[in-house]
Amino acid sequence: MDQLRFDGRVAVVTGAGGGLGKAYALLLGSRGAKVVVNDLGSARDGVGKSNFADAVVKEIKDKGGEAVADYNSVVEGEKIIKTALDNFGRIDILINNAGILRDKSFQKMSDQDWDLVHAVHLKGAFKTTQVAWETFKKQKFGRVIMTSSNAGLLGNFGQANYSAAKMGLVGLASTLSIEGAKYNIKVNTIVPTAASRLTEDILPPDMYQAMKPELIAPVVAYMSHESFEDSGLIIDSTLGFATKAHLIRSQGAPLRRKPTDPVTIESVKEKWGEVVNMNGARRIDKIAEVTVDLVEKLQEFEERSKLDTDRESYWATYKYNSKDLVCYALGIGASVVNESDLRFLYESHENFTALPTFFILPGMVMESPVISQAMPPGKHADFTNILHGEQYIEFVDQFPGNEGEFTIRNYVVDVLDKGSSAVAIVNSEVFQDRQLVLRTQQHIFVLGQGGFGGARNSSRAAGVQSAPRREPDARVTQRTADDQAALYRLSGDLNPLHIDPNVATASGHPKPILHGLASLGFSVRHILAKYAGNDPSNFKAIKARFAKPVLPGQTLITEMWLEGKRVHFQTKLKETDSVVIAGAYVDLKNVVKDGNSSPTTQSAPSSSNLKSDSLFAKIEDGIKANPDKAKSVGAVFLYNITENGKTVKQWTLDLKSGLTVYQGEPKTGKADTTMTVSDNDLMDIAAGTLSPQVAYLKGKIKIAGNIMLAQKLGPLLKSGAKL
């Protein structure tokens, strides 16, 4: 990068006899600026005189630069600027650095302590800048640096006068950055922490040594350069580090339910948590935006209040991006083992998209008090007594994109009395850019909290639907992973019931149970592959009841019945034959039968007509005949055998445990490497006419996982096949 120079520029640095000011003056002088080295030459309380400025001027001149000393007080700022104009004919850069301390605990602080500190810091900066402003405007160029302090931004014991003045400088810079904008006058604030006369016996000696002003000077010099375009910034710098600080505002909260309601002290108290909640807080850059923001909030509030029911709504926001979609897909059993799942797992896939059940998540506002507040007197709901009972989602219009932000309105429509237990029905309306995009409904089963004399049923509940009384039209089997709940938690449901053995035992479960939405996600993926062409935008609605808990590691069998555009389904556990999801259905826009179904979700295809059966028998024999070679590879491989781009069979070669070869579902799901290869290519590899390495390089074998291991397997496969 070219050296940043200040040739032809005139800089005034106040308080430049030592410390930071001296470092600024020396640096600017060494880069071609003509410098006015201002210093009153006093100790840090503003008392005493010395000629520090002369020494700095000499140092600049000795190195071939130009500088002049100035001993005026910043309170008479016009005299300092006059020194610049008289000696150099102009002024381009003004660094308001001069300062003094008069530290006292607040009650002991005298008027004089207050006035003196304000006079030097705030009034001084006002005076110098106001006089220089005229020249800056005329020449349409000016760079001003104000010096604030963390004692101003954050407060510091014994520095009430100094903190107030330092925060005052931030306000001064903010306004001047606006007034100076059209004249190319940039006004910024530095918050330095450095060794100086002000800090010399305040900082511990080691730190004092390390906090060299020379580490901050380049930051201030860059902010004073003609190429520096920002204005109104607060830059904190120390020890060779720089950071930007700014004020942010919370999302805020309306202090009443309806625009016609009064605001009371009690309603303010009630809403205080939302007022000070900094989730989703943001920076407002311009004062005009504050008004726009308030007007928008008011409009939004008025629109929302029209939606309000007799029960209070809880509003929330939900932001998501491709990483969330991938994390979620992993949580509901999508896997790179299935080529057709890649579109849910790889953000750069040409057809990357969200899985349909992902959009249930915005409505699951875990921190919402909406359920606990709706419970009848004497009844309570919290993580210790709730189970997810039923779930409904409806896509109102377009299927949402791969990233976005939703505003969600959550409200309880009914609390049903089911005898021993209660069921809270929670509706969520999910908006994007003020348009309703999704509706969801959760039934939350609240154990042991019934018997309050409430209604048993609700007309506002999306009902479950019985499946037809015939054999299912399709079945898909998939084992959940032992870590399924741990993985699913990453999508936001941190209920300890799914991870903490003690909580699970206390709730009467043998071990942590799987999230209901995780099991539902598996089954809906099966339907997606079987009847929706693997295209989530084909979905209109989903409804399910969680009939029994699922334990991570259990195997789900999704049974499906196609009736027009509705797929009824239920999900059973392979281990116990019990129904865990009941009365469920998916409504589709279009039915696409057997659309790109994935291997792990298929029961093993009949193998009789597959050319590779005998091939794999040969490979197995070959591996058995070459046990040493096989052991040296020692890994688990999955082979997806594809025909016409569709996976028709899967083989697992487990070289670690007894050299077994078997087909069908992967036993463990813990393959080190997955290879996808067409049947014909596999035959060629086996026949020795196609080397596995060449096949890989030509893209004929797709490998997910450990490529080195897969390449090692090549010769082994060949040796086995040749037998």
**Which residue of 10, 216, 223, 423 would you call a contact of ligand HDC, by CB under 6 A?**
423
Query: Catalytic site residue 320?
Result: no
Comparing CA positions, the residue from 157, 149, 160, 81 lying closest to residue 117 is: 160
Between the alpha carbon of residue 149 and those of residues 19, 119, 165, 167, 285, the distances in Å are: 15, 16, 10, 8, 21
What Cα–Cα distance (Å) separates residue 290 from each residue in 29, 285, 295, 296, 297? 42, 9, 9, 10, 10
Residue corresponding to tokens 């050299």: 659
- 24, 71, 162, 696: the catalytic one is 162
CB of 298 to ligand HDC, least distance (A): 28
Asked if residues 422 and 446 have their Cβ atoms less than 8 Å apart, the reply is: yes
Q: Tell me if 548 contacts ligand HDC by CB under 6 A.
A: yes
For residues 593 and 580, what is the distance between their CA atoms, to the nearest angstrom? Answer: 25
Using the contact rule CB under 6 A, the part of the chain among 118-126, 165-173, 383-391, 565-573 near ligand HDC is 383-391
Task: Name the segment binding ligand HDC (CB under 6 A); options: 267-275, 401-409, 415-423, 614-622.
Answer: 415-423
Binding of ligand HDC by 390 (CB under 6 A):
yes
Residue 314 in contact with residue 277, Cβ under 8 Å? no
Out of 120, 211, 485, 547, point to the residue binding ligand HDC (CB under 6 A). Answer: 547
> Which of 146, 444, 633, 686 lies at the binding interface for ligand HDC (CB under 6 A)?
444
* Contact predicate 4/227, CB 8 Å: yes
Interface residues for ligand HDC in 167-226 (CB under 6 A)?
Answer: none
Q: How far apart are the first and last CA of the chain?
A: 65
**Assign residue 469 a region: left if phi > 0, alpha if psi is -120 to 50, beta otherwise?**
beta
- Smallest gap from residue 505 Cβ to ligand HDC (A): 15
Site string for ligand HDC, 126-165 (x = CB under 6 A): ----------------------------------------
418 lies in the site for ligand HDC, by CB under 6 A: yes
Nearer to ligand HDC, 455 or 694 (CB): 455
Least gap, CB of 661 to ligand HDC (angstroms): 37
Nearer to ligand HDC, 240 or 448 (CB): 448
Helices (H), ranges, 365-515: 370-374, 484-489, 501-506
Among 44, 143, 409, 545, binds ligand HDC (CB under 6 A): 545
What is the nearest approach in angstroms of ligand HDC to the Cβ of residue 424? 8
Contacting ligand HDC (CB under 6 A), which of 389, 521, 622, 720?
389
Cα 496 from Cα 501, distance rounded (Å)? 9
Per CB under 6 A, contacts with ligand HDC among 347-366 are: 364-366
CB of 503 to ligand HDC, least distance (A): 11
- Cα separation, 239 vs 210, whole angstroms: 7
Residue with smaller CB distance to ligand HDC, 325 or 551: 551
Record the tokens describing residue 545, joined without a space: 């009841």
Provide the minimum distance between the beta carbon of 417 and ligand HDC in the complex, in angstroms, as a whole number: 9
Among residues 7, 26, 2, the alpha carbon closest in space to that of 16 is found at 26
Bridge partners, residue 586, by sequence: 542, 567
**Amino acid identity of 146?**
M
Nearest Cα to 428, choosing from 487, 343, 512, 371? 371
Residue 560 CA to its chain's centroid (Å): 37
Binding mask 446-485 for ligand HDC (x = CB under 6 A): ----------x-----------------------------
Site residues (CB under 6 A) for ligand HDC, limited to 317-346: none
- Binding range to ligand HDC, per CB under 6 A, among 141-149, 249-257, 335-343, 442-450: 442-450
Judged by CB under 6 A, the chain residues 500 through 519 that form the site for ligand HDC are 513, 515-516
Residue closest to ligand HDC (Cβ): 389
CA atoms within 13 A on the CB side of 393: 24
For strands 579-588 and 555-563, give the pairing.
unpaired
Nearer to ligand HDC, 13 or 365 (CB): 365
Question: What secondary structure letter does DSSP report for 159?
Answer: B
Q: Is 493 in the site for ligand HDC (CB under 6 A)?
A: yes
Chain residues in the site for ligand HDC (CB under 6 A):
364-366, 368, 386-390, 418, 421, 423, 426, 442-445, 456, 493, 495, 513, 515-516, 545-549
Looking at the annotation, which residues are catalytic? 162
